[in-house]
Amino acid sequence: MNKHVQGVSLAAAYGLISGLILTCLFKWLESVTGEKIYTFLLNVDYIPVIGDISFPEWIEVVFHLIVSIVVTIGFYLMFQLRTTWKRQSLLICTGVSIVIGIALFPTTALSDHTPEITDGLSLLYWLLGHAVFGAVLGLFYRLGK
């Protein structure tokens, strides 16, 4: 297997593991706090056509994992272009993941099933979860070959 394909495959595995950690963390936090961050993570009802379909929970989790894998492959490609950035992968992945979380949070206003856009506690949990996602990715990249 060529080195690039192997790298992308490893990145996909990182995304799968990190995405599952985020999924489990949010499901647990929602069950403990009542804040609808797990519901928000899986929410697709604002996406045209797809939003009109009622998917089972496991399919919504698969959608989230696909996004996680795509994001992680994006990090892999970035680290291939800027190899010196790999040393700062923990900081870069955590920071970019928080920015992604900030960028996504306003979409909560597009659904009646997710937290209110003014819900500061949900936003805090949402950003902390994305920080965990990024930190796990950063550690994988920092420690991986």
Domain range list for the chain: 3-143
Q: For residue 110, what pLDDT is reported?
A: 87
In a 3-state reduction of DSSP, which class is residue 136? helix
Query: For position 15, what pLDDT does the model report?
Result: 96
Average pLDDT, the chain: 92
The reported pLDDT for the residue numbered 61 is 97
What is the pLDDT at residue 144? 77
Query: pLDDT value at position 1?
Result: 65
Q: What's the whole-number mean pLDDT along residues 9-31?
A: 96
Cβ density class 53-88: b for 16+ within 10 Å, e for less:
eeeeeeebbebbbeebbebbbebbebbeeeeebbee
Q: What is the pLDDT of residue 29?
A: 97
Rounded average pLDDT over 3-13: 89
Q: What is the DSSP string of 48-112?
A: TTGGGS---HHHHHHHHHHHHHHHHHHHHHHHHHSGGGGGGHHHHHHHHHHHHHHHHGGGGGG-S
Distance CA 38, CA 43 (A): 9
pLDDT given for residue 145 in this prediction: 57
Mean pLDDT within 37-65: 91
- CA distances 74 to 36, 41, 111, 134, 141, Å, are 28, 20, 28, 13, 12
Percent of the chain predicted with pLDDT > 70 = 99
Question: Per residue in 76-120, pLDDT tens?
Answer: 999 888 777 777 889 999 999 999 999 999 999 988 889 999 999
